[in-house]
Amino acid sequence: MSQPTTTAPATGARLKRSLGTSKLLIFGLAYMLPLAVFTSYGYATQAAAGHLAGAYVLTTIAMLFTAYSYANMVREYPVAGSAYTYTQKSFGSHLGFMTGWALLLDYLLLPILSYVLIGQYMTAVLPAIPFWVWVVVSVLLVTILNYIGINIVTNVNLALVGAQIVFVVIFVISSIGYLSGNPKTVGLFDPFFGKGADLPHLAAGGAILALAFLGFDAVSTLSEEAREPKKTIPRAILLTTLAGGVIFTLCAWVAGLVFPDYAHLSADAPTLDLMHRAGGVVLAGLFTAAFVAGSFAAAMTSQVSVSRILFSMGRDGMLPKRVFGVLHARFKTPYLAIIVVGVLGLVALFIPLDWVFQMINFGALIAFSFVNLSVIKTYVIDKKERGGVATVKFILAPAVGFALTVWLWTSLPTLAFIIGGIWVALGLIYLLWLTRFFTKKPPVMDFSEEEPILDAV
């Protein structure tokens, strides 16, 4: 590989702009993982009392409001940093740091989630090869691809996202074939809001499903690598959220019709139960292949996003600049941050899967809430945009988004608050050290576009 930069960068180091709307949409969908509906299928279906499609409708609505808030904030601050940046500029560097810290929780864990899933499914297919081998190999491949550059990742993801979309079509067609040859036991729309559906169960399911929508949030972390970010990033955020919600809801609806007796799903492999019923061994095999490919794509894109968050905080001085604020001389990637995330990915070797689900949603929903509040603070209080249209765009919409994300957040299980609370406490301790017990402010990022990107040394 080319010789990387060995000195700490200037505060204004910039990433290379090369992504248009289509590549950003592919990135967001790959991060979302179109087959993510099956990642927590059994767990979420039980929580939603069998009304998984209804839970996805609720979550999609909540996420669209929040995605709209992200779109508004990225127009104001088209730089890397996501919720960390928006909260920092709206409410100050202290709250910005804590929001970034909460966001780090889900970004650091999303690659780990993908590695665990890859290891589990590949071990089921090839039991002669140990789980740890699949995890280690996946971590190495993903880290190398991220090290080389974002365009390599997006090109690989184009093929992997395409494979997942093809499988979704095959799954729907197979399910229609199954339903046409078997007597219906539920109404056509029962998987949405049929008998037994209520808001507490839908919210409990929705709280679990929030992690499936993190792709739109991840798009915002590429603001410094997008062409015309004030146009392409907002458009890609909304398109990613809508496309993901449609795909997830469609799959959940069909699954609810094929397997309405959700209480009989096996604990170990509920999705394979569904696939065997809908299309037999062939469909189950196709699902395994598509799901592993999708998990690999999600691992790549999630590592891209977290490395950009770390780069943003490192450039800011909230994390060590010589590690997290450095760009590669040739590839213009935050290569040391990428390597750190790759090493952390090895946690997949021993962390329980249900812990990962709960911790990801805890951090994500906190970040989503602060982004919604940031819209109100930035546009209404600071910029004083208070006309009729502004009231809808900058007060009503983010207020609804905030209320819905807080509702989903409070619907998480107790374990999520215990582990998430520990993570927040660690972040607060670090912030106290960084600011010498709030006697000084954390460093503030320089958003000037005048500073050049690092050249080769």
Find the range with the poorest average confidence among 63-72, 347-356, 375-384, 427-436.
Answer: 347-356
pLDDT at 445: 52
Which range is least confidently modeled, 8-22, 186-200, 255-269?
A: 8-22
Q: Bin 228: left if φ > 0, else alpha if -120 < ψ < 50, else beta.
A: left
What single letter denotes the amino acid at residue 450? E
> Which of 179-188, 216-225, 295-304, 394-403 has the lowest average pLDDT?
216-225
**Top-confidence residue, 82 or 445:** 82
Q: Kindly report, residue by residue over 192-215, the tens digit of the pLDDT.
A: 988 878 888 898 888 888 878 876
**Which of 54-63, 218-227, 237-246 comes out lowest in average pLDDT?**
218-227
Q: Is the pTM of this model over 0.75?
A: yes
Higher pLDDT, 322 or 223: 322
pLDDT-based confidence at residue 218 (cuts at 50, 70, 90): confident
* Torsion (CA) 129, 130, 133, 139 in degrees, nearest 10: 120
Give percent of the chain above pLDDT 70. 89
What's the confidence (pLDDT) of residue 11?
45
pLDDT value of residue 158: 67
- pLDDT of the residue at 444: 60
Instruction: Determine the pLDDT at residue 152.
Output: 57
Query: Residues with Cβ < 8 Å from 65, sequence gap 6 or more?
Result: 372, 397, 398, 400, 401, 404
Domains and CATH numbers, the chain: 21-434 (1.20.1740.10)
For position 256, what pLDDT does the model report?
A: 93
What's 148-196 look like in SS3? HCHHHHHHHHHHHHHHHHHHHHHHHHHHHHHHHCCCCCCCCCHHHHCCC
Q: Helix 82-91 crosses helix 353-375 at what angle (to 10 degrees)?
A: 40
Comparing 151 with 261, the larger pLDDT belongs to 261
Query: Quick one: what percent of the chain has pLDDT higher than 90?
Result: 32
* Res 173: pLDDT: 95
Strand, coil or helix: 334: coil
Which of 282, 216, 260 is CA-nearest to residue 50?
A: 260
Q: Compare 328 and 384 and report the one with higher pLDDT.
A: 384
Rounded Cα–Cα distance for residues 148 and 409 (Å): 37
pLDDT, averaged across the chain: 83
Examine the pLDDT at 449 and tell me if it is beyond 60: no
> Average pLDDT, stretch 128-135?
93
Residue 453 pLDDT level (bands cut at 50, 70, 90): very low
CA distance to 50, 140, 142, 232, 345, per residue, from 137 (Å)? 37, 5, 9, 34, 11
SS3 content of the chain, % helix, strand, coil (to 5): 75, 0, 25
pLDDT-derived band at 397 (thresholds 50, 70, 90) equals very high
Residue 280: count other Cβ atoms within 10 Å of its Cβ: 12
Cα distances from 249 to residues 33, 34, 51, 303, 381, in angstroms, run 14, 11, 11, 26, 37
Distance between alpha carbon 166 and the CA centroid of its chain, in Å? 22
Q: Confidence band (pLDDT; 50, 70, 90) for 452?
A: very low
- Does the pLDDT at position 130 exceed 90? yes
Provide φ and ψ at 19, rounded to 5°. Answer: -105, 130
Q: Which residue type does 108 have? A: L
> Would you place residue 154 in the very low, low, confident or very high pLDDT band (cuts 50, 70, 90)?
low
Answer yes or no: is pLDDT of 372 > 80: yes
Residue listed under structure tokens 């109404």: 187
Mean pLDDT of 254-263: 91
Mean pLDDT of the region 155-160: 67
Alpha-carbon gap, residue 270 to 247, rounded angstroms:
19
pLDDT in tens, 69-103: 999 998 888 776 678 788 988 998 889 888 878 87
